[in-house]
Amino acid sequence: MTTIDTPPLPDDDRQTGDPDLDEKAPRARRPLVLAATAGFVLGCCVLGLLWSLSGQRGGANDDVLAACQSLYRAGHLPDTTGGHSAAAFTRLSDDSVHRVAAAYELAQAAADADGRYQPLAQGLGTVNQMVVTSRFDSVAGQAAIVTVQQLCARG
């Protein structure tokens, strides 16, 4: 009896097919990892660039401008040094007090960044103290208001 040449039956679920396809070496992952890393780095760079361009870059000059605008928005600060009765005026509105305090904080931030703005910060500190205590009969406080207004007018 002669045997017929038949292919052996598979022992597992693998499909039989072309022997060239079965012997393919696994593909290297190095190019895929490098491409993913390069994409991540490039994305981070673009995100950082956009983030830096969207931020404010004003610095001390913008802080001084905002401080002066905040002081002007606070309104008229009364002067009770010239014989006016302090009882005729009790206190400023809350929003005016907050605006003077904000002007002082902005001027202080500008002075920390640039020492040229130290006189403005000191003057606004005196004005802020006068406003917080509602003591508008202070000669030094009234002089500080004039000094601050002159410094703000100069820019």
Each of the 155 residues of the chain gets a pLDDT tens digit; together they read 566 777 766 666 656 555 555 556 667 888 888 899 999 999 988 988 888 777 655 688 889 999 999 999 988 888 777 666 655 565 678 888 999 999 999 999 999 988 899 999 999 999 999 888 888 888 888 899 999 999 999 86
Q: 105 and 123 in contact (C-beta within 8 Å)?
A: no
Q: Please state, in angstroms and rounded to a whole number, the distance separating the CA atoms of residues 72 and 65.
A: 11
The amino acid present at 123, given as its one-letter code, is: G
Q: Please state, in angstroms and rounded to a whole number, the distance separating the CA atoms of residues 130 and 145.
A: 10
Does this model's pTM top 0.95? My answer is no
Phi, psi at residue 82, to the nearest 5°? -90, 35
